[in-house]
Structure 1
Amino acid sequence: MDVRRKLLGSFLAAAALVAATGGVVLQANTISVRSAAVTEAEQLARGIAQDIAVGPAPKREGESTAPLLYDPAALAVYLERQHGLHQRDIVVVDRNRTILADVVPDEVGETYAEDKGGQVTATMADGQARTFVEESDDSPEGMLQVVVPLTGTAGVTKGAVVLEYTQLYHQMLATTATARKIIVAAGLACILLVMLLGWIISRSITRRINSLTRAVEVIRDGDYSRRVGMGGTDEISRLGQAFDDMTERLEVSAREILAKEYTDSILANAGEGICGVGADNRIIFANEAAGRITGLGVDGLLGLDSGEFLPSGEDAEREVTMQRPDGTSVRVAYSVSVIAKDGGAVVVLRDVTRQRDLEYDLRHQALHDGLTGLPNRKLFLDRLEHAISRARAAGESAAVLYLDLDGFKKVNDSLGHNAGDMLLRTTGDRLAGALRPHDTVARLGGDEFAVLLEGASAETVEQHTQACLDALNQPFVVHGRKAVVSVSIGVVPEIAGYGDAEEVLRNADVAMYAAKARGKGCFEIFESRMHEQLIDRLDSEARLRDAVHRGELRLHLQPVVALPGKRVGGVEALVRWQDPERGLQQPGSFIPLAEETGLIAEIDRWVLFEACMTVKRWQDLAPHASPAWVSVNLSAVELEIPDLTDRVAYALATTGLSPHCLVLELTETVLMRDLAVTAARLEELRELGVKIAIDDFGTGYSSLGYLRDIPVDVLKVDRSFITGLVGNQRQQELVSAVLQLGHTLGLKVVVEGIETEDQLELLGRMGCRYAQGYFLGRPEPVATLIERMTTGSAI
């Protein structure tokens, strides 16, 4: 769209705006007139309603009046008088919309049905005046009606008064007709004036712009003699004058530019260095880029023997590292073009330093770890492939170590990712320091590293592996805090017999997992059986993952006996796995695997819910023969879950078991992981009413301090204190001291591991109140134990 159309469009938009403004004014006038008509009609209707409901105002002082509502004759006379006075139809209806009075007597007694929208009924319901349009055969355009409530002296609505105000509305609208005509005429005059003004202004502007455009097109074609010659002082005139001044200067500049050599301009502004060499090998020409690249400057190059900064050679294109006078070096690619006529040459220089540095950086990044700077998996596998080839060809010995940090995740989660990165960098430095300079140390990813030992005998491999263990078992200082981690190492001592690098690394990884399974902080040499064990472990893990969902877990209960009397005080919930392939599995065969893989949390939730539901059903079935509580073991993973309290509360609420019937057991090792967090979490559980027990008491970090700081209700003395108890006076004194300590602190003490009657009798004499062990009852299926207890069988 050209400028003229845009200007005309703008003025047309302004005219449309004027027309829209006039329309808004006319509409506002109509709305205002109607509002005034409604207000006046409503006031009149309310006055009539007041006369009908209360009575007309007395004509003389002291004269009493009666409501017209109850006098049909008087009401009819009153409406006739009002109709003659105001020339408006008036209808009076009762609560049932029955017409009590109307200027049309034939309508009296009929139901008022002209209000299609129910406005009359709504007004009688809430006492608010309303308007509506009554449509009839006599008045197809509709009659404007206002309805007001008919309210007595007691404030009770007895009906409604409907008053027509169509004539009033038209009278008011007629009074504004002249003003509306003036508004329309003024609007049309403004629109015509705006359009005329727009046409004049757009024609003036576009005429001068077209003149400038034609002049620019002429100059664009190379004719700098064209002038527009505009007078005036407005912006376009000043633009024309500036244009004429510019063309004059362009004409002068064009003559100066044409007088120069194009080649000089090109050479001076070239990004590459260009030197002209004479037949005597001396520089006879150099541009600024050549002086900058060589560091000699243009003056330093002129007259210089080209052999002093360009290496000799027959190659037309070469790349060399050039030393500058200031001591810096630059990588230069140059090409030589010989001029056959006079024996000279043209040399083009190009600075490729940054390009080569970038290529080196890209190669380094592709083959090295960005955090530690060590070779990455790709480079390590490449070097390992070459080492395997050399080992086969020359019979050299070589070995691979696969290292994984134990406890790195805990440091990373507790101290932050920056601390974890610092620990990984330090790990790389320590490994490099513990090995020979030609050994390869690589970071494979995460907290996993690999080492390639070439030319190393079996004894050397073991020495260097132990050196790596010793280096990484030393405490790390991260952000001022001491962090202790260890390392598990898998070793493949001879790599010559392997098919490829991936196989070597995979077997080293398998040996590393064997080291972790042995207890971490050690190394294992790969054996073929390890691969089979790993496959078996992966198979067990896959089947264990589905065990809960397939309903393969089984709940067993072991009774806790109250002494004396040998009655069942409570039960401990223990889990078994009904493996379809291996039969019923004891906890020791799958709980460690569950803890390593994180499945223990899901198993713990299943045991908690199943134990609560089982004991609740037992209590409902046999209230007098059921245990008073059930103990459920809580793992370290479960204790660290933020919503543990909510999960326990949900299990209790869902099963209906009383919180006082649930005891959660934790080992001392789990309790002491983070004393502050543990104490707060256990206090939340105790607020539910749940009891807390310390399992295996005396085998971990036993101290009176945590008995003071951690909310505990039950102590379970470990079975190791009971083995050899009979006949060992010192051990008896120790157990007796623990019993007295627990009772003094108001704790319930349960002694585990009772396997003989002598042990039971001796503990009874010591004051033991609760005991548990195979002598008193082995863990057994729920149904079996319930049947035995409810039938009155002895423990």
Structure 2
Amino acid sequence: MTEQDPPEARAASTASRLTLSADLVDALPVGVLLTAPDGAVLGANAAARDVLGDSPADLATVVLGEAGPEAWSPDGRQVPADQLPAAVALRTGEPASAVVGIPQGDDEPTWLRVTATPVDLPAEPGALLMTVDTATTEVVQARTLAAHGDMVRLAFDDAAIGMALIGLDGRLIRANAALARSLVMSPAELLTRTLDELAHPDERESGCAEISRLLEGTADSPSAVTMGRRFITGAGTLLHTRLTVTVVRDAAGEPLHLWHQLEDITEMRRAQDLLEWRALYDHLTGLANRRLLLDRLAHALQQHRHAPGHVAVVFADLDDFKRVNDSLGHDAGDLLLRVVADRLRSAIRPGDTVARVGGDEFVMVFEQVTSAEHAGELLDAVLAVVHAPVHVGGHDVLPRLSAGLTVNDGSRDAERVLRDADTALYVAKQSGRARWEVYQDEYRREALHRISVEAELRGAVERGDFVLHYQPIVELSSSEVIAHEALVRWQHRERGLLLPGEFIQVCEDTDLIVGLGAWVIREAVAFLARHPELPGRVYVNVSPRQIGRSDEGLGARGLARTVADALAEAGVSGDRLGIEITESGVLQATDLARADLDRLTELGVVLVLDDFGTGYSALSSVLQAPIRGLKLDRSFTIRLGDGGACDRISTAIAALVDSLSSHGVVEGIETEEQRRLALAHGWTHGQGWLFGHPEPEHALGLPTAGQSQRVPATRRALRTRA
């Protein structure tokens, strides 16, 4: 078309274009309006009418906010009319846009995004082209994001573990309160530092290297790494953490910053360190325990296997430690152990080891010793430090160590070397106390034999593989039999008849003596029942372990109970039985044991002190017990007639026995000269091979039960004196 076309044609063409434009606008999904400066709606497409309604007044009200419902912002504020997009666009001449909410009664407002753009039309100068679209989804998403942001801020600020946003230069961009508390710093002070500055010096380099690998993408995980890291707090204390570092990257994959999470594991680490310490060290003394000792000993032996020098091992224990515990209490015992441990620790050389491996057992490892003599010198120096008085429980206690020493060139394993030292300790304890012995191979053979004997003894006690032999006790002047002593023998199934020296000590050490002793008492009482004509009493040796027992739940009973039951079962009077007990058994008797002894005397049983003169008891302590006689040990008998101290002691003890109207017997008389001297010293009764060897019942020439035998008047008189 041209200007030369008729006017009617140009108008028709213009109308055609306007209709096509309206159709296109109505097809738009977004509401479009054209408004006059005064707010009059000049036109609206279908989408606008769907959203706002068909009434031009409603449309104007919504768009311009004039004389209509209030408009609200998504954050809950009322929007003044002069701040609506149309008003702003008219005022500024620039496009304006906003999200506004139109109230719908009590329901959620209708949320719209309104954009107003000034346009100059020939027919309507100052007109506005406006677009209106629903914004409900946008508002909901914005609120969700805002809520999420609030949650993130709360999670960051109020988190129980330390969190920080770190720049790539290492500076803290933001840190939460938990991190500030953990590092004992104010938030403001913390933001002036870098975490690398606060890291433990020993871990700065490794920590930076790990983070560098994370930033370069060469770490095990491309996005995060977790490590243990220590920090020095503002108070100068050590903070153990489990640090997780996450790298935050942009859309191109370039790192923006680092996200740090620090979990305070100080208490957990302390607990772990304590558990590890307790696994290797004794909790009472702080010395190495058996596990650490064996590890160090194995290492020392390995080192010396192909090198000059030897390794010496000392196994020691405190003499009479149980007495300290029993008399002064366990607190005093613990204090004594700590003092001894401190002295041992201070006395050994640097590089040597001392450990506590049991209640009162200690082990020392001396490295680089040249010989057993050299090791002995080191041990003597240690013992000189230990053997000094200790004030515990209000008393001065003199600690004494018995010890076993072994020296090895690394050819044996740690367990074997330690066992050898323990074997030597056993020999030292058997030989006396406050002494040490050097291990010899024969000690091990003896120990193995002892184990074998113990195993056999247990079966023998259960089966009753024992017999009693009886040795007469006589009046020295006439050799008349006045009593017998019952002596136990082991009828071994392979080795034949064994004397007490072969097994009694093993029974004592293993507590088998209690069961064996009870059998001896029952058998001796049964022997008396079978021979009512027997002159005098039958004396039975008992162990201190049998006296004062109260653990009936374990099958053990007090001695008086055992004797009473045996007498009642056999129908024998207590005045026909005598009990022999050693000096140490009387001296160490507890209140329960003394009550046991008193109960025996109530049964009519006589108590005699055996092996008198071989112990360490004070005479006054012995006489406090209900003792009615004593037996002079054979070690005195063999020296009678030497014209020295032995004769004087024998005479003095005989006079003491007579002054106390007690019953005295000289043991081990083998010659007529010994009998003569004993009589000359004032002794009236004796026992020994001169008068008869111990014999089994069938060899005594006694009548069997039911037979009678006339007892001479002299022997009847002697019975009352026994």
Cα deviation, 1:64-123, whole Å, max 9, x if unaligned, reads xxxxxxxxxxxxxxxxxxxxxxxxxxxxxxxxxxxxxxxxxxxxxxxxxxxxxxxxxxxx
Give the residue type in structure 1 aligned to 2:544. A
For normalisation by structure 1, the TM-score amounts to 0.61
- Mark the CA change 1:549 to 1:303 in structure 2 (over 3 Å): closer, same or farther: closer
Which residue is 2:84 aligned to? none
Q: Kindly, what percent of the aligned residue pairs are identical?
A: 37
Distance 1:515 1:744, change over 3 A: closer
Q: Does 1:386 align with 2:299?
A: yes
Mapping of residues 254-273 of structure 1, within 5 Å: 258=147, 261-273=150-162
1:610-689 aligned at under 5 Å gives the runs: 610-619=523-532, 623=533, 626-642=534-550, 643-674=558-589, 679-689=594-604
Between 1:334-343 and 1:640-649, the stretch displaced more is 334-343
Equivalent positions of 1:364-763 (< 5 A) are 364-458=277-371, 459-483=373-397, 486-498=400-412, 500-619=413-532, 623=533, 626-642=534-550, 643-674=558-589, 679-701=594-616, 705-706=620-621, 708-726=623-641, 728=643, 734-763=649-678
Q: Work out which of the residue numbers 342, 345, 358 in structure 1 matches 2:271.
A: 358
Q: Is the 8 A contact 2:406 2:421 kept in 1?
A: yes
User: What root-mean-square deviation, in Å, do the aligned CA atoms of Structure 1 and Structure 2 show?
Assistant: 3.6
CA distance in 2, matches of 1:552, 1:314: 78
**TM-score scaled by length of structure 2:** 0.67
2:168 & 2:640 partners in 1: Cα distance?
Answer: 110
Residues 199-348 of structure 1 mapped to structure 2, 5 A cutoff: 258=147, 261-278=150-167, 282-302=171-191, 304=193, 308-309=197-198, 311=204, 313-316=208-211, 320-332=229-241, 333=243, 335=245, 337=247, 339=249, 344-348=256-260
| Residues 1:323 and 1:550: Cα distance change in structure 2 (over 3 Å) | closer
Residues 685 and 299 of structure 1: is their aligned pair in 2 closer, same or farther, counting only changes over 3 Å?
Answer: same
One-letter code aligned to 2:472: P
Q: Which moved more, 1:294-303 or 1:645-654?
A: 294-303
Change over 3 Å in CA distance of 1:688–1:450 after alignment to 2: same
Deviation at 1:701, TM superposition (A): 4.8
The Cα shift of 1:482 comes to 4.5
| C-alpha separation in 2, matches of 1:690 and 1:454 | 59
Count of residue correspondences: 540
Contact 1:277 1:344 in 2 (8 A): no
CA distance in 1, matches of 2:299, 2:649: 64
Inter-partner Cα distance in structure 1 for 2:238 and 2:617? 69
Cα deviation for residue 468 of structure 1 reads: 3.9
Note the alpha carbon deviations across 1:503-525, whole angstroms, 9 max, x for none.
Answer: 33233333333333333433333
Match of 2:686 in 1: 771
Structure 1 residues 402 and 716, CA gap change in structure 2 (3 angstroms): closer
Give 1:649 shift. Answer: 0.9
Give deviations 1:6-41, integer Å, cap 9, x for gaps.
Answer: xxxxxxxxxxxxxxxxxxxxxxxxxxxxxxxxxxxx
AA at the equivalent of 2:428:
A
Distance 1:736 1:319 in 2: 84
Counterpart of 2:598 in structure 1: which amino acid? E
Post-superposition Cα deviations, 1:684-715, rounded to whole Å, max 9, x if no partner, equal 21111111212233444576634653322223
The 8 Å contact of residues 469 and 522 in structure 1, kept in 2 or not, is answered as: no
- The question of whether the paired residues in 1 share the 8 Å contact of 2:357 and 2:363 is answered with yes
| TM-fit CA distance, 1:563 | 4.7
Q: Unpaired runs of 5+ in structure 2?
A: 1-105, 108-139, 212-224, 551-557, 716-722
Superposed CA deviations along residues 135-161 of structure 1, whole A, max 9, x for unmatched, are xxxxxxxxxxxxxxxxxxxxxxxxxxx
Distance 1:363 1:725, change over 3 A: closer
Measured after TM superposition, the shift of residue 771 of structure 1 is: 2.2
CA–CA separation in structure 2 for the residues paired with 1:259 and 1:725 = 108
Distance 1:565 1:455, change over 3 A: closer
Q: What's the offset of the Cα at 1:401?
A: 2.3
Q: Which amino acid aligns with 2:458?
A: R
Unaligned runs of 5+ residues in structure 1 are 1-224, 227-250
Partners of 1:275 and 1:287 within 8 A in 2: yes
Q: Counterparts of 2:619 and 2:196 in 1: how far apart (Å)?
A: 89
- Cα distance, 1:320–1:777 mapped onto 2, change above 3 Å: same
Structure 1 residues 443 and 702: CA distance shift in structure 2, 3 A: closer
2:189 is aligned with what amino acid?
G
Q: CA 1:270 to 1:694, structure 2 compared with 1: closer, same or farther past 3 Å? A: closer
Q: C-alpha distance in 2, partners of 1:586/1:764?
A: 30
Q: Is the alpha carbon distance of 1:402 and 1:298 closer, same or farther for their aligned partners in structure 2, counting shifts above 3 Å?
A: same
1:147-226 aligned within 5 A = none
Shift in Å at residue 343 of structure 1?
Answer: 6.7
Evaluate the alpha carbon distance shift between residue 547 and residue 339 of structure 1 in structure 2; reply closer, same or farther with a 3 A threshold: same
CA contact (8 A) 1:561 1:776 kept: yes
Q: Kindly tell me: are residues 571 and 429 of structure 1, through their superposed partners in 2, closer, same or farther at Cα, counting changes over 3 Å?
A: same
Q: How far is the alpha carbon of 1:256 from its aligned partner?
A: 12
Q: How far apart, CA to CA, are the structure 1 residues paired with 2:609 and 2:167?
A: 97
**1: distance between equivalents of 2:169 and 2:614?**
95
SS in 2 for 1:754: coil
The one-character-per-residue Cα deviations of 1:624-650 (angstroms, maximum 9, x if unpaired) are xx2221111122112232422111111
**3-state SS, counterpart of residue 455 of structure 1:** strand
SS in 1 for 2:272: helix
Displacement of 1:309: 4.1
Question: How big is the shift at 1:471?
Answer: 4.2
> Structure 1 residue 784: deviation in Å?
0.9
Higher helix share: 1
AA aligned to 2:540 is V
TM-superposed CA distance for 1:543, in Å, is 1.4
